[in-house]
């Protein structure tokens, strides 16, 4: 399992996105926000980036079944959040032999997506960044 080191990114995609954001954002917020969610147990999701307008960006190379399930649950539990994906290859298939591609899964499940870059239009949308560093569960935790 990889560990995050301050100042280091997990992939070349994240390196490139950080470099891009340094020139267009007031602050690069990399893995600063925590979002509580639950499936069979309590979980904590750390998105990759939060833009100045509050849009959450998840950079993905490999988009696993666990990632997809997690994001569907988070969307159900936090419908107010605007989570978008930037893929290193948006045309990759969900798994070997699948017909569905990453971008098609996003469109089917109402997530906005991009291939390799954060579109400038996303940066220009109105909104504000979170005033908190942790977004709590809205429901009582299961025991």
- Least confident range of 23-27, 62-66, 107-111, 115-119: 23-27
DSSP-H helix ranges across 25-92:
65-77
Domain range 12-135, CATH architecture:
3-Layer(aba) Sandwich (3.40)
Whole-model pTM: value is 0.83
**Cα dist from 62 to 37, 68, 80, 89, 141, whole Å:** 22, 11, 26, 9, 30
- Position 64 scores a pLDDT of 96
CA gap 76, 29 in Å, rounded: 24
Comparing CA positions, the residue from 85, 82, 86 lying closest to residue 74 is 82
Residue 89, pLDDT score = 97
The 10s digit of each residue's pLDDT in 77-111 is: 999 999 999 999 999 999 999 999 999 999 999 99
Q: Nearest-CA neighbor of 35 among 138, 135, 133?
A: 135
- Model confidence over 5-50: pLDDT tens digits? 445 656 889 888 989 999 899 888 998 999 999 987 889 999 999 9
């Amino acid at each position: 399992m990889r560990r995050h080191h301050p100042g280091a990114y997990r992939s070349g995609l994240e390196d490139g996105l950080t470099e891009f954001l340094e020139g267009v954002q007031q602050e690069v917020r990399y893995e600063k926000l925590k979002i509580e969610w639950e499936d069979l147990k309590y979980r904590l999701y750390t998105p990759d980036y939060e833009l100045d307008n509050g849009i959450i960006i998840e950079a993905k190379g490999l988009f696993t079944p666990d990632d997809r399930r997690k994001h569907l649950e988070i969307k159900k539990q936090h419908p107010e959040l605007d989570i978008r994906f930037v893929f290193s290859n948006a045309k990759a298939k969900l798994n070997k032999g699948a017909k569905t591609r990453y971008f098609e899964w996003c469109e089917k499940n109402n997530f906005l997506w991009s291939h390799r870059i954060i579109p400038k239009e996303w940066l220009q949308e109105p909104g504000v960044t979170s005033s908190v560093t942790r977004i709590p569960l809205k429901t009582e935790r299961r025991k």
